[in-house]
Structure 1
Amino acid sequence: MTIDKTTVQVPGAALPPVITAYLAAQLARDATSALAAFTADAVVTDEGRTYRGRQQIAAWLGRAASEYTYTTEFTGSTQNGPESYDVTAHLEGDFPGGVADLHFRFVLDGALIARLVIEP
């Protein structure tokens, strides 16, 4: 699947291409493209669980893409340091509670994502 990075509109700070590529892949439920955005030893924390390395992150991405149906509206972004970005999103769907406002906190290592924390 080819991801059109221009379809991801996030108000606020200009985001590095790897973050927009990851967000576009997430919107498309394309776990393979999303995984390509991470370093080999990346760490992801979501819903209180931590996933380390590409194998665990691939399993998390596959599960996250198929567990619920939801829409995502990216509502803002900020740059918190040279390699640190925060993207906010509003989700609505069939997950418990039905509505969530989340922060996607990215830390980059060069041109790839080294750390991602997803939290309210």
Structure 2
Amino acid sequence: MTQHTDLPSDLLPITVGQFFAAHIARDADTASSFLTEDAVIVDQDETLRGREETHAFLRDAGSEFEYTTEQIGAHRVDDTHWVLTVRLEGTFPGGAAELDYRFALRDDLIAELVIANHPA
């Protein structure tokens, strides 16, 4: 059974919180350290696999824009799946977006991250 619970960010798994803090700071080396060797990141229908591709994504994603990131929601789906909802505002087309960062954990590391538009 899926359980959706809104959570404050301090109740998220440490791995998710520390990854997200590093990602916001654009620290790809630290963010990558929270991924499994065979991690998969899906961003807007682009799939990246393994250490090299995911690290390059974390290093380069959004680098052509200036933007701010604010966590506006978080919930636990089950013991290994968590969702952070964030609001981006910046110089990218449209100027604002709400995204879900859907995490799947394995052995206290991120095995999969799917970044998708937050449903309205």
TM-score, with length taken from structure 2: 0.87
Deviations 1:24-67 (A, max 9, x none): 10111101111111000000000210000010001111111522
Note the residue ranges of structure 1 that are not aligned, 5 or more in a row.
1-9
Counterpart among 47, 57, 60 of residue 60 in structure 1 = 57
Q: Kindly report structure 1 stretches of 4+ aligned residues shifted beyond 4 Å.
A: none
Map 1:43-54 onto structure 2 (within 5 A): 43-54=40-51
Q: CA RMSD in A?
A: 1.5
Indicate conservation of the 8 Å contact 1:12/1:78, yes or no: no
Note the residue ranges of structure 2 that are not aligned, 5 or more in a row.
1-6
Q: Tell me whether 1:109 sits opposite 2:69 in the alignment.
A: no
Q: Which residue of 2 aligns with 1:17?
A: 14
Corresponding pairs, count = 111
- Secondary structure of 1:24's match? helix
TM-score, with length taken from structure 1: 0.87
